[in-house]
Amino acid sequence: MMRFLRLIVCFIVLVFLAASTGCKSPLTAELDSEQPSATSRIKNKTYQDLIVGYAQIGAESEWRTANTASLKETAEELDIEFRFLDAQQKQENQIMALRKFIAQKVDVIGISPVVETGWEPIFQEAKEAGIPIILVDRWANVPDNLYVTYLGSDFVEEGRNSARVMVKLMNGKANIVELVGTIDSAPANGRAKGFREIVQDYPEMNIMDSESGDFTRARGKEAMENLLKKHGNKINAVFSHNDDMSLGAIQAIEEAGLRPGVDIKIVSVDAARGAFQAMIAGKLNATIECNPLLGPQFFDLVLKVVNGESVPKWVPSIESIYYPDDAAEILPTRKY
């Protein structure tokens, strides 16, 4: 009995000494290693933990199709639960989609707003539900605290670049008609603004008229037909807000018996494959790139946002300008 008591006393003394000198018995060390520290206790989320809702505009252009494919392919590669809704170019459908995502308590909402205005109430609802919003491709006119970041192009700069190219092409003298994208959309507003900023310094660069073709080929053709009826062969230049409308315009110009790219020079935006084919055929004079392949950057931002990392308020895409000279060489490398 005495031997047993001595053993217990020794054990208590040893444990006490180990604790007071900071040493740990293998058992306590093992238990401690299973206790997360204050910081590691908040486990970072991974792509597989996420549910992401996305309210896409529609499928109005070659650009948009490539944009949707990039988002869906990236979500699949990263194994993310991606809830995608196509709003068919209607703001009310995008608002309904957002309301659905809020009810489903998704982790993050991505949206390419079809127009710039009218988003504040629904964005506010998402904020109150604690769901961050990431603007993709198109900007919305809302207070800064209603979205975390905007990933997309500098539309004003695209407009400026279009004008710089047009000035060179026309030696500073032109009768231009403008094919405008969706009215009140960020790219239409930005491109129109940037184009005018440059052209205003050239008194003989005359913007005769503008008409919306809603970013689609069919509406672009219709708009160009109307403009040709109105102004006939006074028109010698077209600034088109996207490639799909340019392709429609090319058809309208040909049907009017004129040569697109020669009698009427055309500067376009997007740099989609269709524009490269038109440049190779000599029917389009330049295209200013607007990059739709935003899937990888979008999901990278999503992960940062859910894990509380700070992200810039605007993540601009990197873009170039393309001309007919090297269109044939570049076309095979184009992904959209």
Residues that bind ligand AHR (CB under 6 A): 60-61, 63-64, 137-138, 187, 215, 242, 244, 269-270, 290
Bridge pairing between strands 286-289 and 321-322: antiparallel
Token couple for 234: 């006074």
State the CB neighbour count (10 A cutoff) for residue 78: 19
Where helices occur in 236-294 by DSSP H, the ranges are 243-255, 273-280
Q: What angle do CA 114, 184, 275 make, to 5 degrees?
A: 70
Nearest CB to ligand AHR, comparing residues 63 and 322: 63
Q: What proportions of the chain, in percent to the nearest 5, are helix, strand and coil?
A: 50, 20, 35
Contact 295, 52 (CB under 8 A): no
Nearest CB to ligand AHR, comparing residues 107 and 270: 270
CB of 67 to ligand AHR, least distance (A): 8
CB of 111 to ligand AHR, least distance (A): 12
CB of 256 to ligand AHR, least distance (A): 24
CB of 277 to ligand AHR, least distance (A): 16
CB of 253 to ligand AHR, least distance (A): 20
Concatenating the DSSP letter of every residue in 192-260 gives: HHHHHHHHTT-TTEEEEEEEE-TT-HHHHHHHHHHHHHHHGGG--EEEESSHHHHHHHHHHHHHTT--B
Nearest CB to ligand AHR, comparing residues 213 and 306: 213
SS3 176: strand
Query: Is residue 86 packed enough to be buried (19+ CB in 10 Å), middle (13-18) or exposed (0-12)?
Result: middle
Token couple for 266: 């055309």
CB of 184 to ligand AHR, least distance (A): 13
Nearest CB to ligand AHR, comparing residues 175 and 216: 216
Nearest CB to ligand AHR, comparing residues 242 and 251: 242
CB of 220 to ligand AHR, least distance (A): 10
CB of 81 to ligand AHR, least distance (A): 26
Nearest CB to ligand AHR, comparing residues 236 and 297: 297
CB of 187 to ligand AHR, least distance (A): 4
Query: Is residue 124 packed enough to be buried (19+ CB in 10 Å), middle (13-18) or exposed (0-12)?
Result: middle
Nearest CB to ligand AHR, comparing residues 116 and 137: 137
Residue 293 to residues 38, 44, 64, 136, Cα–Cα distance (Å) = 39, 27, 10, 11
Residue 100 CA, distance from chain mean position = 22
Nearest CB to ligand AHR, comparing residues 74 and 185: 185
Nearest CB to ligand AHR, comparing residues 180 and 327: 180
Where helices occur in the chain by DSSP H, the ranges are 2-20, 26-33, 62-78, 91-103, 120-128, 155-169, 186-199, 217-231, 243-255, 273-280, 295-306, 327-330
